[in-house]
Amino acid sequence: MQSTPINPETLSVSELNRRVKRVLDNHFDFLWVEGEISNLARPGSGHWYFSLKDDRAQVRCAMFRNTNQRVRFAPANGDQVRIRASASLYPGRGEFQLVVEHMEAAGAGRLQQAFEALKTKLQAEGLFDTELKQALPQYPAHVAIISSPTGAAIRDMITVFKRRSPGTRLTLLPVAVQGEAAAPQLAAAVGYANRYQMSDLPPFDALIIGRGGGSIEDLWAFNDETLARAINASKIPVVSAVGHEVDFTIADFVADARAATPSAAAELLSPEQPQLIASLRSTEQALYRSISRRLRAEREGVQNLRRLLKHPGERLQEQFQRLDDLELRLNLSLSNQMERRRQKLSLTRAHLGRLSPERGISQYRYALHNAMAALRSSMRLQLQTQGSRLGRTTGMLNSLSPLATLERGYALVTTEDGAVLTDASQTHVGATIHTRLAHGQLSSVVDSMSSETVNNKNE
């Protein structure tokens, strides 16, 4: 019997969790795990917390902000993902968890993400707008079917057309509907149908593009962007018939009409023959009744005209007489109008003669001539008076001007700063002075000063 240690080591819960976490961190490398996301939480910290589960178990996961920013899609509950993570323990709750370092969509989940991304892009560009949808022809004569030549879908569509509208011409444009080559062939077939022109066959009235049901991987060729743009650019109405009623592809959203199945697409473009015949008979009867009513009305109208119309000769005589009467009345009216205009013209001439401005113009011209002569005489007198006054004023100014004093031999002496010298004490030896003469100016330097000036200065 094993004995119990006397002093066994007792761990706190925190220490236990730390040791378990250390063991997990040191003994597990990064793991790749695939499962479905559930209980996804995005708190304000920017970290992601969620469970990854399959049909038998689940595990808690944490993906921190610095790593989840590199994820190229927005995960959601129910997404199937593949993660790269390390096994660890959250010590606070003693909870085993995976610390996620990388996440990517897995399997159908990845395709669903790509589908939603392309759908959002094309919808934003307006390729799904109802205004772009073309109306389907009511009675198409020639329909192109773009599908696999060996699938059950083409056989179903041919059967429906034969039963409902055997007169509709069908042309199969064979393409692959699954695999890497399928999408380019589908897009090329849509472009070919729009360029199709045969001398002995009518152009296409409508296109059916589709296949039978399958997984999302099987139907993936119909989620191709190039094919979507080809359908959108088609001038021929396009019916998309891909998969079963629950299947939706990008081609369904872009096409002018979506059919739940290929057989339903054939029914959209094949009016049932008995109904068509009944409609034609009803139209025929309505047309016959309309034509009969119109013929009766026209016949009655002709009979009424015969009663009203006279012999052409009598009608012509009446018209000639009416024409002569109109001519006489016109001539009389013109003569009366001319006479009234002639009288009015005579009265206007007489009135204008009395109001003629010629007499007034002559009087005004004579008065203007006299006024101009008086103005010239007054101007000469004023010029003479002002000239004499200017001469007297000029003489007085010359007699008072200091320049006249200079003409008599006097000079005006100033310092360098322009002050007038009236006393020798205002300058000094070596100073520069300026002498203004009647004609010109001199500059000189004081060399000496007279004793009289000095004495006066000392006093």
Q: What is the pLDDT along the chain (459 residues), one digit of tens a residue?
A: 555 566 677 777 778 778 877 877 777 778 899 999 999 999 999 999 999 998 889 999 999 999 999 887 889 998 888 899 988 888 888 888 999 999 887 766 667 778 888 999 999 999 999 999 999 998 899 999 999 999 899 999 999 999 998 889 999 999 999 988 999 999 999 999 999 876 677 899 999 999 998 877 788 999 999 999 999 999 999 999 998 877 789 999 999 999 999 999 999 999 876 666 777 777 878 888 888 888 888 887 777 776 666 556 666 777 777 787 788 888 888 888 888 888 888 888 777 777 767 667 777 788 888 888 888 888 889 888 888 888 888 778 777 777 667 777 778 888 888 788 878 888 888 888 888 887 788 888 888 877 454 444 444
Q: How far apart are CA 151 and CA 8, in angstroms?
A: 76
What b/e readout covers 187-217, taking b as 16+ CB neighbours within 10 angstroms?
Answer: bbbbeebbeeeeeeeeebbbbbbbbbbeebe
Enumerate residues 6+ apart whose C-beta is below 8 A from 398: 404
Structure tokens, 428:
């000094």
How many whole angstroms separate alpha carbon 211 and alpha carbon 177?
A: 7
CA distance 268 to 282: 22
Locate 338 and state its tokens. Answer: 């001319």
Q: Would the pTM of this model clear 0.85, i.e. be above it?
A: no
Q: What is the pLDDT of residue 276?
A: 65
pLDDT at 191: 94
Q: In a 10 Å sphere around its CB, with 0-12 CB exposed, 13-18 middle and 19+ buried, how is residue 269 labelled?
A: buried
pLDDT of residue 24: 76
Q: What is the chain's length?
A: 459
Torsion angle (degrees, nearest 10) of CA 163, 164, 165, 169: -60
Burial class, 143, CB count within 10 angstroms (exposed 0-12 / middle 13-18 / buried 19+): buried
Report the C-alpha gap between 49 and 31 in whole angstroms: 18
The neighbour count for residue 76, using CB atoms within 10 Å, is 11
Q: What is the pLDDT of residue 454?
A: 43
CA distances in angstroms from 2 to 5, 6, 7, 9, listed in the order given = 9, 12, 15, 17
